[in-house]
Amino acid sequence: MMITNNREEWEWRELTWPDTLTPDQVRNALEQVAASGALGPVVLETRATKAGLRWLIAARPARIENTITVLAAHLAIRAHMPRRVRKPVGHTAELRVSGTDLSLDPARITASIRGLYGALSRLRDGEEVVLQLLLGRRHTPPVRPREPLHAWLKVLAIPPSKPTPASIRKHRDEQHGFSMSVRIGASGVDTARARQMVGDIVGALRVLETSGSRIRAVTGSPVHLNQGALPWRWPLVLTSGQILSFTGWPIGEPPLPLLGGIHPRQLPPPIALLHTDRVIGTASAPGHNEKVGISIRDAAFHTHLLGPTGSAKSTVMLNLITADIHAGRGVLVLDPKGDLADRVLAHVPKNREHDIVVIDPTNAAPVGFNPLRGTLSHASVTADTLLATFESVFSKHWGIRSADIYTAVFNTLAQVDGANLLWIPPLLTNPAFRRKILAGIDDPIGLGGFWAQYDQKTPAQQAEEIGPVLNKLRQLILRPGLRAVLGQSEPTFDLTDLFTNRRIIIVNLNKGLLGADAARLLGTLLIGQLWTRILARQRDGLTHRHIVSIYIDEAADFIAGLPGDLSDALAQARSLGAAFTLANQYLKQFSPAMQAAIETNTRSKIYFGLGGTDASTIAKHTPGLDTQDFLLLPKYHAYANVMQHGQSTGWMSIATSPPPPATGDPAAIYAASHERYGVPAAETEQQIRALIAPTTPDYTDPDDGPIGRTPR
């Protein structure tokens, strides 16, 4: 049989399927291809190895996109350029079909596919089998039923074959068809093994035989299969409904042999991906290995990572943090466990070690921060932020009286230079100290009226009012680590440096050492002060608002203290050049309002394997995925929908990238940071003791002057 040489005439694509197919879906798709003669010849290949299956399609270069479009109108397919070469085969057989009555029964079609995959599942290492279907000239359905030949056969003394049932004949005669060829190839095997494998495949396809048809194999040419060469004379003519099994496509209910279940689905990137240094992983769909990342400009749309402990959230964040550090950006990392903080320090390059600031309350000389520190013009913002922080942390025991007192306290101390949160007890309990503070504040209608009314009360009445307030403050006072950090009135470091000097701030709030409540309080206070610094960027021009990256693990513990609506805060942060990356374990950690805010305002989403409730909830918002996909997602894999060029990519499956190799000495970097910015805890403790010394007698010393700045 003469064969044309078509090695340079095919354009190949690889197909992926998000789900298994039904016989009707495939029949409709092939019927459309058969009816569209302008598409020209088409090659369909199923290639199987021990590792699994891949499906290829080829057409003339000018027709390949149209061919895929026709199929996609009926099938949920995705096509991409093949990432692997078509391995040449060394042994080939071709199918022959006697008769034209192959079964159209959907049950037998799915049974043949199941049998085919069962045969392919027995492949050994290094073996590959190819099922190649070439579709050539199209055939239209007959205009009228064919005349019966029984009378002529009787004249010739030839007994007629058993009539084809009317229902089968009707369906067959209503379908378009193809001149076609089916080839089976094998590589990595000897002749005996190839013969056995071909026999297994033909045996699976013989399920399609009827009383009027037989399927057999004859020897073929490996060169013809490797080239996808078209024959001068087509050996088969079949209708679109008779060739479903010859495609090798995944037809039938899962699980299928070799394929297993369809979950978790492997989704290729829907669009071409942007190259960026901030990589979160690699596309994991068959035939795809593109790096998936979020550029720093797209990071300003904020990112949400959701998944249980051990799912690789921290690894993804570490890779993003490392990229930001190498790019010279300002970075803040809030870690309530301590592991991520240590790993970040191990990945700091030499040229940025001097930018590291580690805040760790367990250190003997911790770096401090003062939530009350700020400019007088932002005093009301500082007070509002602290009020929101305390209300969120102590929400279970928060009432009108606490809110009233804290409002006055924070608005008072925010106007005093050098004030810190440990000044609150003496402000409320020491009249002389209070007079010194208030001497520098000129607000007779507001704060002056509150404190005048407060001073008119008896000590017993004051104690009753401030009891709940001081109870809350004991979380600060009773913990030496918190006192050493928050008791520094003039810390050597300020969060403003994150924006002005692009510092790398690592906040290590190890719950196991600090306690969960203390870590939550300190982290929330820090995020609150960070928010005031973000708002202060409104004074900067747009060109000076370079983007800083803020990473918060277990975000639900810390972001509730942001003042006002979280949706508004995240939207405002984006315009002010603050890119938040928020990670947490499960949705119930957030209130319904916070869930809605994060769903709406974190435009890049990375979801790992989830539990039942979260999987069901998230699946409602992820087209093409369902609950089982999230339940069965393995470790180090995720579904991602990220922003690129200001647009969502759509959902894709990714394998997270391993962390880069460590480059620095974390212990040395940690020590250098505390030597540069830390203050000995004993020194801070001494200042606190002097501040809370026994109550001064209640009289006015003429030499007493105001504490803090006095407005002009």
Residue 6: per-residue pLDDT: 46
Distances (CA, A) of 559 to 165, 307, 317, 520: 72, 18, 18, 10
Max intra-chain CA distance, the chain = 139
Whether the predicted pLDDT of 698 surpasses 60: no
Burial state string for 394-424 with b = 16 or more CB within 10 A and e = fewer than 16: beeebeeebeebbbbbbbbbbbbeebbbbbb
Residue 169: per-residue pLDDT: 52
Mean pLDDT to the nearest integer, 541-551: 89
Cβ(232)–Cβ(2) under 8 Å?
yes
418: left (phi over 0), alpha (psi -120 to 50) or beta: left
H-type alpha helices, 478-546:
480-486, 497-500, 511-514, 516-535
Mean pLDDT to the nearest integer, 99-123: 94
Element (H, E) at 48: strand 42-49
Per residue in 191-243, pLDDT (tens digit) is 999 999 999 999 999 999 999 899 999 999 999 999 999 998 999 999 999 99
Mean pLDDT to the nearest integer, 1-9: 49
Beta bridge partners of 606: 305, 640
Whether the predicted pLDDT of 148 surpasses 60: no
Element (H, E) at 236: strand 236-239
Per residue in 315-334, pLDDT (tens digit) is 999 999 999 999 999 999 99
Query: Which string of DSSP letters, residue by residue, matches 330-370?
Result: -EEEEESSSHHHHHHHTT--GGGGGGEEEE-TTSSSPPP--
Cβ(581)–Cβ(303) under 8 Å?
yes
Mean pLDDT to the nearest integer, 169-174: 58
More confident site: 80 or 434: 434
Whether the predicted pLDDT of 700 surpasses 50: no
Per residue in 401-428, pLDDT (tens digit) is 899 999 999 999 999 999 999 999 999 9
Distances (CA, A) of 14 to 78, 80, 81, 120: 8, 5, 6, 19
Per residue in 447-465, pLDDT (tens digit) is 999 999 999 999 999 999 9
Cβ(348)–Cβ(306) under 8 Å?
no
Beta bridge partners of 358: 506
Residue 164: per-residue pLDDT: 52
Query: How far apart are alpha carbons 605 and 597 in whole angstroms?
Result: 13
Residue 165: per-residue pLDDT: 54
Residue 617: per-residue pLDDT: 95
Q: Where are the beta strands (DSSP E) in 556-636?
A: 578-584, 604-607
| HEC letters along 638-667 | EEEECEECCEECCCEEEEECCCCCCCCCHH
Query: Number of C-alpha atoms within 13 angstroms, CB side, residue 625?
Result: 32
Cβ(326)–Cβ(353) under 8 Å?
no
Cβ(616)–Cβ(625) under 8 Å?
no
Residue type, 306: L
Cβ(274)–Cβ(135) under 8 Å?
no
| 231, burial (CB in 10 Å: exposed 0-12, middle 13-18, buried 19+) | middle
Provide the 8-state DSSP code for 201.
H
Please give the span between the terminal C-alpha atoms of the chain, in angstroms, as a whole number: 104
What percent of the chain lies above the pLDDT cut of 70? 91
pTM for the full model? 0.81
Residue type, 573: A
Element (H, E) at 394: none
Residue 172: per-residue pLDDT: 56
